[in-house]
Every structure is written in structure tokens, then in C-alpha cells.
Amino acid sequence: MNILLLGYGKMGQLIDELATAQGHHVVERIHVDNRELLETLDPKTVDVAIEFSQPEAAVENIKWCLQRQIPVAVGTTGWLDQKPEIDAYCSQHKGTYLFASNYSIGVNIFFRLNEYLAQLMASQAYEVSTKEIHHTSKKDAPSGTSITLAEGILKHLTQKKKWVNHSTNQPDELAIVSERIDPAPGTHEITYTSPVDTIEIKHTAHSREGFARGAIAVAEWLKDQKGIKTMNEFLESKF
């Protein structure tokens, strides 16, 4: 598989290392200082792109791929206010892309566990809150993973109307508390509390490797797909 890497920070470099070890070929490594290389890159040499750049660059990177019929797996968060625009752009250009707030297979299992627990709690007298911890270089807060978890809870707990990125005593608000502590690659906690007990579920990443391997696996699948795809579709094809 011929991969175009859009973004070459720690995640991009790890994906490069692991993909190359698996026998894939990285066609080009695009970052803030060499973006002009896209002007001469032949799209026919690329099977799929993996996008882990910065929020301010992600939208243009995705559009560049969609214009050229290059399927793109997007892991950058912090740009989702523009996702409806990108969805329309993908349909207009008959392109292919998949956005995931987290590519770790373990985290995506955790997403499902979170929704299942929220379903069970819909009729119970528990107060729910969430917390996430990431390294200090993470640009966005709350994390995209936390937002996905919060949306999964809001889907089933109708008394909660919105999430907020701070502690709250408002009964209609779901708290996401964000902490930035090095070298934490990512910890997410969901806590349900009642007067008689507390129930917690927690996912802790030990390194970025799970995210990188998941992104490569999705890219392998995505290169043969069309349209706007989701992690659930990928998981259903594998499990």
C-alpha cells in the first residue's frame, strides 16, 4: 500500500515506522515546512492518505485529498465545527474519507462499553461526569475522544442536554474535566455516582502505538471504500 502522510509529528513518525515495518511504502511525508511538495505530487502514486496534522491544516489537507480521489483517514481533532462542510465536499467530489477521534481498537471498544453503560443508567439515579488526561503538547481540550464519549452519554441520558469543559453542578450539563500532564498519552474516565455507590469505567493508553496501528489498519480497509465512512463500519467489517 502506498501511503501519503499528512502531518509528521510524533504520530506521523510512528505511523511511518510501523507502516514501513509492515511492508507499506510511504510516498511522501508532508509537514508545515514542505507543504509545497503537494503541488508536484502525482495522486496516482497514492493509494490512501493518513492525516495527523494540526486543526488549522486538517480541513485543507482533507479537501486536497478529496479533490484528487485519494481516500483519507483523518485523526486530527479540533476542526469538527467544519465537518458538515467537509461531508458536503466529499459528496460533491465523490471522494472517500473517514474521521475518527481515536483509532485505537481498544478505545473504540470502550466507546461501545460507554454507550451500553449509559443505556443501563438511563432510568437510574446516578450523576455522571467524565475526565480526560493528555500530554501538555495536545492542542485541543477537551480531546476528540472525550467529545465522542460525551456524545455517547448524551444520546441515552436525556436529562443531560449538553457537555461543558469544566466541573458543573447543573443537572442538565455533563462535565468533561481536562487535565494536561506529561507524559500521559491518553486516559479517559467515566464516573457514575449515587448516594450509595460509585461505578467507574476507564481506558488508559500506555503509548501511541495503539492509535498508530489502528490508523494503518483503517487505511488498509479505506483504500477500497467509497464515500463518508465511520469506525463502526470498519469494526463491523473486522469483527
- pLDDT digit string, tens, across residues 40-80: 999 999 999 999 999 999 999 999 999 999 999 999 988 99
In angstroms, the first-to-last Cα distance of the chain is 22
pLDDT bucket at 139, cuts 50 / 70 / 90: confident
- The total of other beta-carbon atoms located within 10 Å of residue 51's CB is 24
* Angle 73-108-183 from CA coordinates, rounded to 5°: 85
The answer on pLDDT for 132 being more than 90 is yes
The pTM assigned to this predicted structure is 0.85
pLDDT tens per residue, range 202-215: 999 999 999 999 99
The answer on pLDDT for 108 being more than 80 is yes
Mean pLDDT throughout 217-222? 97
Q: What does the alpha-carbon distance between residue 37 and residue 139 come to, in Å, rounded to a whole number?
A: 25
Cell 488526561 locates to: 133
How many residues belong to the chain?
239
Superfamily of domain 2-103+209-238: NAD(P)-binding Rossmann-like Domain (3.40.50.720)
> Could you give the strand order of the β-sheet that contains 48-51, starting from the edge strand earlier in sequence?
25-30, 2-6, 48-51, 72-74, 96-99, 227-229
Cell 492509535 locates to: 211
Name the more confident of 22 and 184.
22
DSSP string over 63-130: HHHHHTT--EEE---S-GGGHHHHHHHHHHTT-EEEE-S---HHHHHHHHHHHHHHHHHTTS--EEEE
pLDDT bucket at 184, cuts 50 / 70 / 90: confident
DSSP 186: -
The answer on pLDDT for 102 being more than 80 is yes
Q: What amino acid is encoded at 17 in this protein?
A: E
Q: What percent of the chain has pLDDT over 90?
A: 90
139 is catalytic: no
Catalytic residue among 24, 131, 134, 188: 134
What is each CA distance from 72 to 17, 39, 54, 67, 84, in whole angstroms?
Answer: 19, 18, 15, 11, 16
pLDDT bucket at 140, cuts 50 / 70 / 90: confident
Residue boundaries of the structural domains of the chain: 2-103+209-238, 105-204
Average pLDDT score, the chain: 95
pLDDT score at 49: 98
31 is catalytic: no
pLDDT bucket at 239, cuts 50 / 70 / 90: confident
Catalytic residue among 83, 93, 135, 138: 138
Q: What does the alpha-carbon distance between residue 118 and residue 49 come to, in Å, rounded to a whole number?
A: 35
Superfamily of domain 105-204: Dihydrodipicolinate Reductase; domain 2 (3.30.360.10)
pLDDT bucket at 238, cuts 50 / 70 / 90: confident
pLDDT bucket at 138, cuts 50 / 70 / 90: confident
